[in-house]
Structure 1
């Protein structure tokens, strides 16, 4: 069977966030999928299997299965359209642990329709402050992650967190964000998930399910442009409508390989 490596949230190879995409002819057990994800050693590997009205989609980090992943969903839609498995004018429908997710091609981008993951304000725990090595301007938490706003983009870019301390938090990961200094960009962020085997994720679509609503409230605008300031970096367009977040980006296939089944 084929396995693809796709750089998501970019239009250039070797930037954005790489994901592996494996389209299964028949169901495979969870242990096999976890082993493949460990072998690929990317932040996420996506596994798809055809259903009558879409595709079942699961995501695995090198360590465990996750309930939501933006960049590997974008990569999956890209592969379906690029290979002709799905006509380019047809909506991609994915049945996941986070419910039905869809993707469409729009104005040269792939647009994902994801659930909003709004945070609530909290008193920052000691591990969050000491692990991120910043004093939060704001700290919050949703069902998956912590969110920390800091005073400046420079602080976000200079972050050097203590991953062992961040692992102790009761969350998938930590997003650190600030307003952007750059023209045409509303906010910047970085995302850390060492407990899931991802010290820093290059570009995190699912984190923007929280970052989008957060910056909508802060900036009073529902269409936003974001930059994730990891070493590889990536740009996202975010639109917030009620309880949905529309996340748009581009993708490019880096390679396709044959995955042996024995």
Structure 2
């Protein structure tokens, strides 16, 4: 940055900061920051201005590291990206106005405005990229965790496991169900697997096809499959679509399915008399 602009910004830093603190409070309610205390809000804003003014005193790599660390802290605290973008636009406007009022001829030149534009644009790009990268990583980790939890095979008795399915089943998720199902059958040495579709809102031809494929795969590895959670509306849909589920047992509830699974493994639930 031009040394003259740097010096005059630092000279009027407090004036710019105080004006900016007043202006930025006007859209605090729009930034979902109401739950942050007034003290933290003001201290963070003051720190933000200090970071911005420090960028003109340091080399590029050093000031980038400072801003990245600051942005990471804002992300962890839940400050929205809108705070960054709107705040910087307001800071640019206030800085230009404050320096233009100093009477310095250079502060009214095109070169001056371009210098301020480039300064703030570089900071905006850096912080937006940091926010975007953090969110992409978070979304990726959440997606992986959801995949791991979306189709678990749960052992409930020796040689009996349950796979509860919840939500919509698409092709990608059907593949995951198949993998977890087969891996779980081998790992838990399951003889009977209950696929519970109580939480599946819609069973159409594609969903039924995926379930049939899963049951056939279970049969090929030496286990039996029971489909449970057949609600009346699901049963009617299956009949209307002409879907053949006759190759493996179906039960209306998980309780009835477990009773059938126990019978298949030569066991039963017996009530103990007091």
**TM-score bracket, shorter-length normalisation:** under 0.3
* TM-score (ref. length: structure 1): 0.23
Name which one, 1 or 2, has greater alpha-carbon Rg.
2
* TM-score (ref. length: structure 2): 0.23
